Amino acid sequence: MGRIHENNAFGELASALGKGLLAGLAGTAAITLSQMIEMKITKREPSEAPIKVASQVTGAAPADESQKEKLSNEIHYAYGTSWGLVRGLLGLAGLKGAPATLVHFGAIWAAELIMLPKYDAAPPATEQKPKDLAIDALHHAVYAVAAGLAYDAIDAGGRRERKLNKLIGHLRSTGLLKKFNF
């Protein structure tokens, strides 16, 4: 029975993707809060980009105006949470911490800068005000940092694993493990 759990690629993939989804949910909650604060400060209305893109991609649209905001929020959360899968794959590939967060941020923001103009949901970056681009970059950085912190916290292992790793680190620093070629 123990051999099944050794080097189980499917188990590792599923674990990374599950952790990524949870991290994506945390990132989506963070970007939502960031956007809500910014909209209060700038008096900006909520974006209709999620509805515009989803309507063009799927052909579906909200039944009426009262459903527009609800559907937009559902799309926002589904999209943001699904980007956590990318964070999980980065972790599975061995990329951790700030480097993984930077790659994740770049992928997310680049996708937005390409996709939204393609679906006429936003003007190209070259036609946007620098202030608007900076605010958008800030929101996506909030997402990437929150998702990265969540992923790394979830991926840190259980309490026993952390204690064992701490002990091994201590034994290495004292040179005791060198004597045993460990």
Distance between CA atoms of residues 179 and 51, nearest Å: 63
CB 81 within 8 A of CB 21: yes
Phi, psi of 155 (to 5 degrees): -80, -5
CA dist., res. 147 & res. 144, Å (int)? 5
CA atoms within 13 A on the CB side of 78: 9
Q: What is the pLDDT along the chain (182 residues), one digit of tens a residue?
A: 455 556 688 989 999 999 999 999 999 999 999 999 999 999 999 998 998 998 889 887 888 888 888 889 999 999 999 999 999 999 999 999 999 999 999 999 999 999 999 999 999 999 999 999 999 999 999 999 999 999 999 998 767 666 777 877 777 888 776 766 65
Per the CB < 8 A criterion, the answer to whether 101 and 144 are in contact is: yes
Q: pTM (2 decimals)? A: 0.83
